Each structure stands twice: as structure tokens, then as C-alpha cells.
Structure 1
Amino acid sequence: MNTVDSLGHERDPRIGRRVRDIASQGEGELTAIVREKVSRSGDEPRYARLAYIKSPSGVEWSTAPENIEVLR
């Protein structure tokens, strides 16, 4: 895992690159990989890593970082 800043954003060399989400086959620019809290109030804190991709048309979605494939 990469270094995480105070907002939960990871530094990753793929950010800003054109990528494919192998789960959905969608393509776009990787805009962020974020560590987000997913537990409910009162529960033990749990976090999930999510990668955010933005398509050329402006649609943005998230997927697991492991699903990211860099395109040439």
C-alpha cells in the first residue's frame, strides 16, 4: 500500500493515467485512490480502499484498486 495523506488519499503513480476497470470494462482517468471508513457508528472502525475513475464524458465511478489496469 502507498503513503496515505490526512484525507485518506493514497499517493499512487497511476493517478492521472488512462486506465481500465477490469470489473466493468469502463475506461477513463484514475483520479484518486482513497481509504474510506465503511463501519457504522459505534462499531470498530473499518476501512476500504476505493479507486475513482472519471470517463471522458465526465461520469465517475469507484472500484477496487486491484481492478485497475493502466492503458498505453
Structure 2
Amino acid sequence: MSERYEYVPHRLLRRRVRDIASGVEGELMAVVNENVSVTGIEHGVELAYIRGPSGREISTAVDNIEPA
């Protein structure tokens, strides 16, 4: 991967979702494929950014989101 961040289309963008891990509900603002390095080996991780009722955004694994 050449870019550190890459936006990924997702069917739930701009819709109300729930983060299974934390229980937070809010609007899915973005899904990003982030290029991370572990011990020098790069790989992509898809993160979902959810804006909760307070207006603050949290990130979670994209597999942790479901429609609310």
C-alpha cells in the first residue's frame, strides 16, 4: 500500500449503527483502510469511525458494526 489511509465505501455510511464491542450507537462517518506496521511488516486494517450522541467519534473494527 502506498497511502497510509484509504477511504473505503460501505453500505452503512451516514446511517445509524451500533458498535458491538462498546455498545455505542451513532452515525457511521467513515470506513478507512489504515496501513499499519507490526515489526516492520505492513498490512491494512479497516476501521469504522462512529459519531456518538456526544459528537465525539470513536473508531472500531469494521466487523464490529451493525445497523442500529
Kindly provide the CA deviation profile for residues 43-68 of structure 1, in whole angstroms up to 9, marking residues without a partner as x: 23211110100012111110111110
Name the Cα RMSD after superposition. 1.7
Which position in structure 1 is the counterpart of 2:66?
69
Q: TM-score, normalised by structure 2?
A: 0.84
Structure 1 gaps of 5+ residues are 1-5
Q: How many residues align?
A: 65
Structure 2 gaps of 5+ residues are none
CA distance in 2, matches of 1:59, 1:44: 32
After TM superposition, the structure 1 = structure 2 runs for residues 1-72 of structure 1, keeping only pairs within 5 Å, are: 8-39=6-37, 43-71=40-68
Identity %: 48
CA distance in 2, matches of 1:45, 1:68: 24
Deviation at 1:10, TM superposition (A): 0.7
Q: Which runs of 4+ in 1 moved over 3 A?
A: none
Kindly provide the CA deviation profile for residues 17-54 of structure 1, in whole angstroms up to 9, marking residues without a partner as x: 000001000010000110001116x9232111101000
